[in-house]
A and B are shown apart, each in its own frame.
Chain A
């Protein structure tokens, strides 16, 4: 579904991504692990076109590197950024409606699906995005992306700063997304969640991929964990 080859990206003169290669299959959940600052979030931004990419990004067989952000989104990639970009002047319901790319076509998700999964959002449907809690904002950001009916969802640190109960809700949502046949590229600090739901893992270090394997292969490899993940 997604094949990234020799991906480079820069912030000014800083060379952040230095030849990233990885792939994600149909319906697969893949986690991108690594310490802070190794380029995991930049990888997602480069795929989305938010940071200019160099290299090849094939999505469903088509080259998307260099295309405009809205074209990449419309090709079927959903992106949940790290910083919960809720539109503060819109209500919860309006935020969800904004996520719909094609009003004429019924996607895999409806607003009621979202409200059934997160009853809190239904209760606060008419509240402004600026007044709901951080946890609710995280749920809303994820739900809004799903309203666009993506085939691949890239999620950046969805559990960061959330209470344990909400972390569990996020895990359930990720499982539900996978159940509907949607591929997931997950950037996550909490190793237990990544290990529980992923089919495969990539570990990043110094702007490139330093490990690739299945969950059992990763758990059997103490050296990778010590060298590239532990602080």
Chain B
């Protein structure tokens, strides 16, 4: 039971990190219809900026400043890159964000190099907060969890309780009519894009020192974030949260409770011939299958429910 709770804690933690990334992406997609392929690159920028800033002034200022810089970079990309491309349609936008992802990756390699940088967990949080049943719960990981829960609550309150949230939600369904009511939709788009990128930046600051800060980090996490928003339902913040938790928990559990397919089949009375044609298949363990699980979920969701769990429109 204790080990289950430990695995659950880590699954929730990973899920909330995915949510921080996915929340910005789903906000951008639902409002602007832009599938931002460069979203995970802003996550990477957050981690690198935090590394550089924390080298000089420490982790805490970096936690605030790095996402702000990422947000401003995102807003500038929208204003001077994406907006002019917008009139050429969604395919052009998609290709543009694809290009931006590569540009950011190459810039990161030029500035910080090809190898991982030593972006470490801050000393002030690098201790065991509590131990339970022989398992240590890190203070930094609990902090990550609290920040991500705080972001969800703040984002939910922003969208449902504030006037700007009303405007964003209305612009999702009909931006033209929102403009005829006197609201500056292009500027709102720009800052929504910047805000979404800043959220990815926060995830980068918090996740960079746990997952490793390296030029390939965007490529590793980027596709999974798309799985989260498709499974959760395009444009649904609540859906993104549930999908992120689901994927985080399933992947973590698959690694934690590592068992072979052979053992599972034996448990239900099916025995596979050790020398037969299915022997390689039977040797696969859940830990090996873990990276594939989110994409399997994506494929099944697209076949059976293209609008995801809580989406209001098909992919």
Contact = CB atoms under 8 A, between A and B. Distances in A.
Majority secondary structure, B binding face: helix
B169 A81 contact: no
Interface in B147-179: 163, 166-167, 169-170, 172-174, 176-179
B179 A144 contact: no
A106 interface: no
A192 B210 CA distance: 73
Contact of B172 (A69, A81, A89): A89
Contacts of A98: 166-167, 170, 178, 181, 183
Contacts of B182: 70, 73-74, 101, 148
Interface string A111-144: 0000000000000000000000000000000001
Contacts of B185: 69-70
A97 B163 contact: yes
Contacts of A50: 176, 180
A97 B179 contact: no
Contacts of A70: 179-185
Contacts of B184: 68, 70
B87 to A, nearest CB: 12
Contact of A90 (B166, B176, B186): B166
Given A85-B174, A103-B163, A69 B179 contact: yes
Tell me which of A70, A103, A144, A148 has the highest count of chain B C-beta atoms within 10 A of its own C-beta: A70
Contacts of A48: 180
Nearest to B160: A94
Interface of B: 163, 166-167, 169-170, 172-174, 176-186
25 contacts: A68-B179, A68-B186, A69-B176, A69-B179, A70-B179, A70-B181, A70-B184, A73-B180, A74-B182, A79-B180, A85-B174, A87-B169, A87-B170, A87-B174, A89-B169, A89-B170, A90-B169, A90-B170, A94-B166, A97-B163, A98-B167, A99-B181, A101-B181, A101-B182, A145-B181
